[in-house]
Amino acid sequence: MFVFIILIVVLCAAPVSADQHDDTQVLIVYYSMTGNTKEMALAVADGVNAVEGATAVVKSVEEVIKDDLVRADGIILGSPSYYANVAAPMKEFIDAWYFEYELPMFDKVGGAFCPGGSRTGGQELVVISLLLAMMNNGMIVAGPLYEAWGTFGATAMTDTAPHEGVDEYELADCRLLGERIARVAQQMRK
Ligand SMILES: Cc1cc2nc3c(=O)[nH]c(=O)nc-3n(C[C@H](O)[C@H](O)[C@H](O)COP(=O)(O)O)c2cc1C
């Protein structure tokens, strides 16, 4: 009995590591100069938070720190299309994962989204570039929720009239992306 009581006391007093958490954490990191990518990031977060037991953490590339990445079970990246490429601040952030932070990204679940000004402005190329960088770091990538259509991530056309900003359909895709990554990350944790 005495040993049992000691065991309970020790267990209760054990420090809880900052990395231990019950919920599945999905980190959403975006770069945004004029607000479109940020708006998509917030919709992605809504999708994550709609999944029971999952929590979204939304940060810009300027705010995110190494611990955010360490804690995340899933990571969703958003960059605008800049000349059909990932915007430089997002690329710099990704380049730091291994060479600066020496992070183990293995088996974290990844997804990506991208707004671009025009209809064929490289959005899909940017999404695929982000997913490739994740795969190169040992992550597992997934797309939105559609079961029958081949989609790689969420995109938007923001600067071509009459289609200005991110519309409701595009935001709905962002929510699906967040939901999917949260669910797959939950399964990976099990
Ligand atoms: C330097 C620069 C390059 C861009 N290149 C492209 C491009 O290649 N294709 C495209 O569709 N839009 C391009 N755009 C437009 C942005 O991708 C678009 O406005 C996007 O919605 C901006 O996102 P933000 O509001 O989060 O900054 C470019 C914008 C800038 C500033």
pLDDT of residue 147: 66
Domain membership flag for residue 17: no
Closest ligand 1 atom, CA of 120? 11
pLDDT of residue 185: 97
136 bridge partner residues: none
Domain that holds residue 130: 23-189
Domain membership flag for residue 73: yes
Cα 140 from Cα 111, distance rounded (Å):
9
In the reported structure, the alpha carbon of residue 37 is separated from the centroid of ligand 1 by a whole-number distance in angstroms of 10
Number of domain units in the chain:
1
pLDDT of residue 25: 98
pLDDT of residue 150: 72
In the reported structure, the alpha carbon of residue 85 is separated from the centroid of ligand 1 by a whole-number distance in angstroms of 10
Cα 190 from Cα 55, distance rounded (Å):
16
Domain membership flag for residue 5: no
| Digitized pLDDT (tens) for each residue of the chain, 190 residues in all | 444 444 444 444 444 444 456 899 999 999 999 999 999 999 999 999 999 999 999 999 999 999 999 999 999 999 999 999 999 999 999 999 987 777 789 999 999 999 999 999 999 999 999 999 999 999 999 987 776 677 899 999 999 988 899 999 999 999 999 999 999 999 998 8
The residue to mutate among 81, 123, 129, having the most atoms of ligand 1 within 8 angstroms of its beta carbon, is: 81
pLDDT of residue 20: 56
Domain membership flag for residue 16: no
Q: What Rg do the C-alpha atoms of the chain give, in angstroms?
A: 18
Are 37 and 78 a contacting pair, CB within 8 Å?
Answer: yes
Domain membership flag for residue 43: yes
Domain membership flag for residue 153: yes
pLDDT of residue 27: 98
